[in-house]
Amino acid sequence: MGKVILTGDRPTGRLHVGHYVGSLRRRVELQNEGDYDRMFVFMADVQALTDNADNPEKIRQNIIEVALDYLAAGLDPEKCTLFIQSQIPELSELTTYLMNLITVSRVQRNPTVKTEIKMRNFEANIPLGFFCYPVSQAADITLFKANIVPAGEDQEPMLEVTRELVNRFNNTYGPVLVEPSIMLPPEGACRRLPGIDGKAKMSKSLGNCIYLSDTADEVWQKVRSMYTDPTHVNLNDPGHVEGNMVFTYLDAFSTPEDFAECWPEYSGLDELKEHYCKGGLGDMKCKKFLNRVLNRTLEPMRERRREFEKDIPEVYNILKKGTESAREVAARTIDEVRHAMRIDYFNDAALIAEQAERFASKQQ
């Protein structure tokens, strides 16, 4: 079986560095390695509407922001298919069929959905669409027969639900859908990057983000205000790196080249951490280094973004073409799904003949 990669983001805001280390960086690497049959990256606007039903304008405005972030990060429309979820009606159809194969209590057990319900104060009034989004996500993945989903660890429960649905579908109707697996980033810090306040996961909805499109100034303001180690008061106090956002972000972003080029006094991150823990290394120095590390990744993105911003109609055109191409794949799978479910009445000459015969014999 070939490799089909699929992953997406909710167009609820610009993309941040959490998206980048959790998924986007890996997508660009996979794309450039080229070892796959097909790669899809999509904007989950239908999913974004499940908790933004009263604010469609927010989604509409953010489609272009996310598209620009994709292109700025290095996704290449020649190598991967970029599309918009709502423009693929086959997704809603498959979602409807999959909903029959899962129970309410199974969806309720999903820990990511539980956390998100709390975060949004939905406890008493959960929109049904929001509650069901893991099923719609299973449709996103399976309609394209994706078997690899590069994502952060919040997506693990979704992939579990998807695999269960694939098995239920295939056992009930026949082998049409494909079981996917998640591709998590290898580094712990990247699987769920915390926000700059060190409290929860970096999330568009929580306002604790460094955005890929932030200016160098904005990045520095955010890095400067970052939560570090409250017990590290004087320079010579021993410091702690666990729970210290500067070091968590260095774990996620810094490379040996960053040290060689920007801070050659240290052989690498381990030596820097050692010094910090021993005492005698100030937060400000570490923050300045982190700021340089971040900008080494973000500056080329800002430049590419500026280029793509010059021709916005072309960006929409890229999305349109990608959506058309994705829809061809979607139509093929949905035909197979309907056939397996025996609801392809008009394509089933045997059925029509059989029924004709049954009714003809009644008339005699």
Q: Which residues bind ligand ATP (CB under 6 A)?
A: 9-10, 12, 18-19, 22-23, 151-152, 154-155, 192-193, 201-205
Q: What is the closest distance, in whole angstroms, from the C-beta atom of residue 121 to ligand ATP in the complex? A: 14
Token pair 């712990």: residue: 188
Which residues does residue 149 pair with via DSSP β-bridges, in sequence order? 182
Residue nearer to ligand ATP on the CB measure, 132 or 193: 193
Q: What is the closest distance, in whole angstroms, from the C-beta atom of residue 224 to ligand ATP in the complex? A: 20
List, in order, residues 6 or more apart from 123 with CB less than 8 Å away: 117
Residue nearer to ligand ATP on the CB measure, 9 or 69: 9
- Amino acid residing at 105: S
Cα angle value 37/38/44 (rounded, 5°): 160
Q: What is the closest distance, in whole angstroms, from the C-beta atom of residue 85 to ligand ATP in the complex? A: 12
CB 228 within 8 A of CB 283: yes
Q: What is the closest distance, in whole angstroms, from the C-beta atom of residue 225 to ligand ATP in the complex? A: 18
Q: What is the closest distance, in whole angstroms, from the C-beta atom of residue 46 to ligand ATP in the complex? A: 13
And the tokens for 229?
Answer: 């180690």
Residue nearer to ligand ATP on the CB measure, 116 or 258: 116
Residue nearer to ligand ATP on the CB measure, 155 or 162: 155
List, in order, residues 6 or more apart from 277 with CB less than 8 Å away: 238, 239, 240, 241
Element (H, E) at 8: strand 4-9
Residue nearer to ligand ATP on the CB measure, 200 or 277: 200
Residues, the chain = 364
Residue nearer to ligand ATP on the CB measure, 28 or 281: 28
C-alpha to C-alpha distance for 148 and 127, rounded to whole angstroms: 29
Q: Minimal CB distance to ligand ATP: which residue?
A: 22
Q: What is the closest distance, in whole angstroms, from the C-beta atom of residue 43 to ligand ATP in the complex? A: 9
Residue nearer to ligand ATP on the CB measure, 16 or 232: 16
269 class by beta-carbon count within 10 Å (0-12 exposed, 13-18 middle, 19+ buried): middle
Q: What is the closest distance, in whole angstroms, from the C-beta atom of residue 351 to ligand ATP in the complex? A: 42
C-alpha to C-alpha distance for 358 and 292, rounded to whole angstroms: 77
Residue nearer to ligand ATP on the CB measure, 194 or 239: 194
Q: What is the closest distance, in whole angstroms, from the C-beta atom of residue 355 to ligand ATP in the complex? A: 47
CA–CA distances in Å: residue 132 to residues 103, 108, 136, 170, 239 = 10, 9, 7, 21, 45
C-alpha to C-alpha distance for 172 and 305, rounded to whole angstroms: 47
CB 290 within 8 A of CB 246: yes
Helices and strands: H and E segment counts in the chain:
18, 5
